[in-house]
Structure 1
Amino acid sequence: MNTILIKAASIVNEGQIVIADVLIKDGFIEKIAPVINEPADQEINAEGLHLFPGMIDDQVHFREPGLTHKADIFSESMAAVAGGITSFMEMPNTVPNTLTQELLNDKYKIASEVSLANYSFFMGASNDNLEEVLKTDPANVCGIKVFMGSSTGNMLVDNEKVLENIFKEAPMLVATHCEDEQTIRANMALYKEKYGENITIDMHPLIRSAEACYKSSSMAVELAKKYNTRLHILHISTAREVTLFDNITPLKDKRITAEACVHHLWFDDKDYATKGNWIKWNPAVKSADDRSGILKGVLDGHIDIIATDHAPHTIEEKEQPYLQAPSGGPLVQHALSALLEMYHQNKISLEQIAEKTAHNVATCFNINKRGFIREGYWADLVLVNLNDPIKVTRANILYKCGWSPFEGQTFQSEITHTFISGNLAYQKGKFMTNEIGKRLAFNR
């Protein structure tokens, strides 16, 4: 039996902070009590540290297979673990696109051999693979991903009949990227007519506009209400979109949920002047009013989850002119650090961070025995020192792409320990790679 005893941690869980001991045995939380005196193989003094349920990131792009010059499952899961992310759900726009059950299983096989974090993979939808989509097993796959806006390869679903069928027949959660493609193309044509090839990054949120986002998101919500689909809209980037969602409680009763990403909570369009293509994302980072509106939606329950949309590209790719530079950036190593910084700025509480990054993800996706610090649950845990500053530099970035939009930022908090399914996988800069993460299971 493998046992770890965490002593005197300030446990951030289910709306409260309590100092207690936690005993981990064979991967699970065996006991939580004010004082535990049982012997253990390893004892960790967590006095002065905060213990969080591990962040469950419901949207990452780890680029394997086919794009491993940018990232791979091993490198990015390692960065995620260092950042306090204990489980991830990865997107299907790899090469080839994950549009068949065979290709989906190929990704699970890779993860079972190399992923340091727990994992799940979305099944991708296209205009012509509904039969394959409907074969997806709700018990061991996180969801179906629909790009209602441009993406890699054959993944833009713009056939209205196909969309209707997906929403009508999907046996599980449908996650959508919502940007209206026709609106974006019309905007791009206007800007190309005016500026030719000299379009600059500050025009990005005007081309991939707030109107494009709202039009697509409202269409998805309308379809979900029509067919009672379990819909989850990813990376909300405008204040207006927040109005599409209810703050129904309990969360388990919500059929339509939404996610905000760390970059839309941190950056706004003024940052293009200094960050340039490094903060080029789809959907685009928009105005300061949008940023504050999204945060308000997170805090009042209209937006349910905070995630990353981690999507790395190489430095060379990002240094190209605006029209050639791809959208996306790496975030998993610094997402929790950024949220803890927002706590220091009095923008969000520690309890709300745990709720939006762990509890609510587990509830929205019906994840089995994860997302909470409870006896009998998997020990996916993160210890944090809230008062040990660390500066993001090229030297301490773990992403395969070698850069971060947070480069130069000093965060006041340090992630000291990360436990993956009861295994101490990371401790103060060192990784224990003897154990692989586990496949997520779902109570559906």
Structure 2
Amino acid sequence: MLKRTKILAASLSVVAAIALTGCTASNNDNISKMESVKSQTILGSYANIAQANYSDALKDAIVLRFRIDALASTPNEQTFAAAKKAWLISRESYGQTEAFRLANGPIDAEEGWVADTYGALEGQLNAWPLDENMIDYTIDANGSKTSGNIIDTKGSFNPGGEESTSVNVKKITVDALTELNENGGDANVSTGYHAIEFLLWGQDQDYSNFTKDSITNGALTAGQRTLADFTTAKDAKRRLAYLKAASEKVVKDLELVNSAWEKNGLYQAAIQGTLTGTDASKNIESKEALKQILAGLGVFIKSELANERIAVAVLTPSEEDEHSCFSDNTHRDILNNYLGFKNVLTSTYMGKKYGASMLDAVDAKTKANIMALMGSIEAKINNVDEMAKTKEHFDYQIQPGNPQAKVIVKLKNEMRKLGDEMVNVAKANGIDLSTDDVTDPEETKL
């Protein structure tokens, strides 16, 4: 365009050349404005889906806290079962919010005003895998209970690890658990859904294919914690106190993240560029916001879900690397994590269309390829889910020699291809991404 302008300038008057340049600039400005409007429309849909999804996750977490409070008040088989059911339900909504990660948003931004305002709470809410020995007893290979954990420590507790610090756990509180979470290492998890999961279900004793199972000598099952751990067993009251503090923290953390996405929330306004006054500097340019979202979607589906949560478990193989190994709920994690990805990509949630989507600008051929890939992925996810609910848990499905393991490997491979397709979706929306942008450089190499 610049070369053509110079050629015309040689034969046209200076005034005409200036007029032509002004016309070109105006066209470029119009295109830029159109792209900006399109981006803002997509971002509006994105923000509304986030608000609806996090609101549901918060509501379900409040029910979970209520059920745990009932268990702590009256520990019996009914309240115990109700607490576990509430945990499973809460994972349905929270699992879909995972698609909002890795986009420098309020759930996990690590720097800048977003991190300062919201605190990167993903690690507090959903960190895994965890070293359950840090929280409570487990049964070792000799059939003996381990000790030296938060539950059985009545004073200062040091989780160990690099630069770990001691925390007073004489009384188990939200603050104490928060301070201990990932204190000394990523596996030193004391808060969030998976800490609660372990306390409700107990150790998944069929955790290793590399050693002979001399503990359970039975079918692969979820954890089998008994009610006695909350009634007559040593430290029963501390387990209940731990559950109460951990569930209270999940609610508090989700309240903060949810506030970011509410209609008057600071972050939802920032990505739509509507902040004014002293907050105006916090506005995020629409194309930059969309770029972060698309890159985050790619990294999530390709490196986090396909690689870390599926490939590591099936190719190792190790049930300990299931996302929800204590409750054997990994099949639902996979389904809901993928559904969250689909929600964002198609601007839908719970069957409701929220407006313009990132796919709208994609050419027909590329869109058909993406939809076919998603259809194949969904068929495999539904297969894994149905098998887990009717015949064999994910534990069984990843075993060497099980035909389902091949299905799961293919699922992983297709998800990785779908992650790469976010480069094409980005291009159609005026965003430049590479496959490196949609791949976590620190993902586990298998």
TM-score by length of 2: 0.29
Structure that is richer in strand per residue: 1
TM-score by length of 1: 0.29
Structure exhibiting the larger radius of gyration computed from Cα positions: 2
Structure that is richer in helix per residue: 2
